[in-house]
Structure 1
Amino acid sequence: MIKVYSMDDIISNIKKECYDHIFIYGAGDYAKYVEQQLKVLEIYAFLVSSMVACGDSENDNILEYKKGIITDNDVVIIGVINQQYKKEIIDNLKQVRNVIEIKEDYYFIDRASKVAEGRQMGFFSDYKHLQALGEAEGTDKAGLWHDYCNKYEFFLKEFKNKSFAFVELGVFKGASIRMWRKYFAQARIIGIDIDSSCIQYATNGIEILIGDLGTKEMIYEVNKLQPAIIVDDASHKWSHQINALFELFPLMPHGGIYIIEDISTSFIPTAASYGDTDISTYEIIEKISEGVVGNSIKDVYSNRIENYWDSIKVIIEQTEMVINISDSVILIKR
């Protein structure tokens, strides 16, 4: 039994030991939360469960646990919080050599249980449709790692049956663009990515544009679309997030909604990987918020934002509301 205390411990152990396959025992929110945290780092795992219901063919990533499925060079992470279930799982896995048991860790364990509880009892708990679609498609927007969907639905529900253009920056493996296709049944759904392989996710009802938003040509293409909703889930680099906001937000119609995801990349420790400008994306958002809340533009200016001031001023003048949620910012246009 390998006992660990944090996600960093798990990752360190996995990289050090070079296991053939990684299995997470469990099929609930917490197991999915563990899986999604690993997936962000491009460490891919299978969920396994002894519950027959979890062998549902609609979810190819949940396997029914059977003796012999795990070999000597695989690892199992116990993905449950309940101590009774954990004991039963350990008893089932006595023949497996590499078992990781997650011990006390406030963020890793407590956050998962609190988010799950919040879904049931919180302000946004009635907004379940987008969440269900996201979970079905396997996007991390819907899981405990980000948990965006019920908040998004609160702000986006008025668009649900309308005809409009929806743009997502960043396609990755197509999970979230499929979720949006199902939620906005009447909308034109467009994904934009610099990776040409993403063209494979173009299907009936989903358009994929390949290009670099750092070019005037691509900005022109987006301008022609006149999107009412834009979700930036692309590279998360500061310069890319800032440039996209400055270039695209002014093109949106009145009442448009602009979302910047993974805003935590503006903060330590991930800032070191994404900070490629002298000011972070969140510092820009702070200045926009100051102007909107204080109802004054001139008081926002400082020498630090001199190079960005003209664009910030335009966005302040055009913004009705700025909403901060965990790891995401939502701007609503006047």
Structure 2
Amino acid sequence: MNTHNESSDSALVPFALRPASTDWEAFALDGSGTCHGWAWFRPPAAPQGVVCRLADGAVATLRGLAMVTGIDPAMVSMWGVFGTPCAGPSAVGMLDQPLVLPHGAVDTNITIHVGAGTAVPVGMVPMVMNQPPMTVGVGGMVDEGVYTAIAAHWAAIQAATVKLEMLRKQIDDLMMQLSSLNRDLTYDEVGHSTRQDRDAWDDARRWMRNASTQLSRCQKACDVGDTQSVGKREWLQNIHDNYIVTRQPIDNIQGVASEFEYFRKLLINLESQVSGTLSGASTDGLNRGRRVLAEIATKVRRAKSR
């Protein structure tokens, strides 16, 4: 993920002129140059949309995210806020409300879909408030609310897939760093360190071995998940591309929606697990080892300078 604010001027670039992203692009919500989050423009599941993720502690609104990604809020056909879809026109009252991640939420994305949407004749608008709107698809009437929710699930699946690929690379990198750091002390390090230092290093090495074991398990979980989910992902993409995008009627649409939701939660839970393991391995393993070696190195330098 690009942590530099190279896209701080993203609000100056209209969304219509933006190509599809190849990596997360940092953005700032003001002129401070601070990275407030990242955007992925035109992911495969939302070629006319953008997926946003806020940095820790960042406070944003739907209007702010739309403007910083070059989108006129009036042109938004659908928002996906932390996994909850909301039709564009019905979100007018929410545009300036601070976005707060619900406690325990597994989907941290805000997805913005751009487009005028499918026009519905006035005479077809349901009179019952709780009844989901119906849209005339190519093959007949479809439940627009369910189809919109499935589209949001698919966008979240695509974003989580990209994030998992990035985390998988971070696992490989961190395991290499741990392997390189986990070594015996040199002759000078042994000679100029105290018993307490050497015990601390032995303890740090145990933490590093444990971190490597945990990372290896996550590595296998990612690989096994990729292998086992290939067929499922292809099935979901086929349904999305051939039925959801074109609003074609499909049997048991509620069951289909449940399949999309389950797969989304599966990926996001895996993403959360891998992120937590990476954080723990870095703090308890890598940083601990570096800290102990740095203290020993200081004593070696002092001894040699006498």
> Which TM-score band applies after superposition, normalised by the shorter structure?
under 0.3
Higher helix share: 2
TM-score, normalised relative to structure 1: 0.17
TM-score, normalised relative to structure 2: 0.18
Larger Rg: 2
**Looking at both structures, which has the greater relative contact order when contacts are Cα pairs under 8 Å and sequence separation is at least 6?**
2
